[in-house]
Amino acid sequence: GAVVSQHPSWVICKSGTSVKIECRSLDFQATTMFWYRQFPKQSLMLMATSNEGSKATYEQGVEKDKFLINHASLTLSTLTVTSAHPEDSSFYICSARKGGGATETQYFGPGTRLLVL
């Protein structure tokens, strides 16, 4: 199997606070994880690629100082939304890459809904 978990599944916070979201690969090791954001009725948008033991690679237009990513182990990546504002309210989804080369596969976590008041 290939199971990816996220915690929390729901979070409501006040504007200006920081929120940390965890992504774990439960039954495999993942040197690479990905963070996506999805607004209602829109496509998945890749925010950043998280590499174990090194700095994350952010997509164009994503503020690295606002969305802090730490991939400290082969099974855990965290995304911290710093100084959250209502426009950061969204569905945040992580994925973990299993395997490598031509047969690599990404498995998605269940997602975290963030509501910033």
Partner 1 sequence: QKEVEQNSGPLSVPEGAIASLNCTYSDRGSQSFFWYRQYSGKSPELIMSIYSNGDKEDGRFTAQLNKASQYVSLLIRDSQPSDSATYLCAVTNSGANSKLTFGKGITLSVRP
Nearer to partner 1, 78 or 98 (CB): 98
Give the shortest CB-107-to-partner 1 separation in angstroms: 6
Return d(Cα 23, Cα 76) in angstroms, integer. Answer: 6
C-alpha to C-alpha distances, 96 to 23, 70, 89, nearest whole angstrom = 8, 14, 23
- Structure token digits, residue 29: 């090791």
Which distant-in-sequence residues (6+ apart) come within 8 Å of 102 by Cβ?
A: none
C-alpha to C-alpha distances, 21 to 41, 77, 114, nearest whole angstrom = 22, 9, 10
Give the shortest CB-104-to-partner 1 separation in angstroms: 6
Give the shortest CB-43-to-partner 1 separation in angstroms: 6
Nearer to partner 1, 73 or 105 (CB): 105
Give the shortest CB-84-to-partner 1 separation in angstroms: 21
Nearer to partner 1, 78 or 95 (CB): 95
The site for partner 1 (CB under 8 A) is made up of: 2, 32, 34, 43-44, 46, 49, 57, 91, 93, 95, 101-111
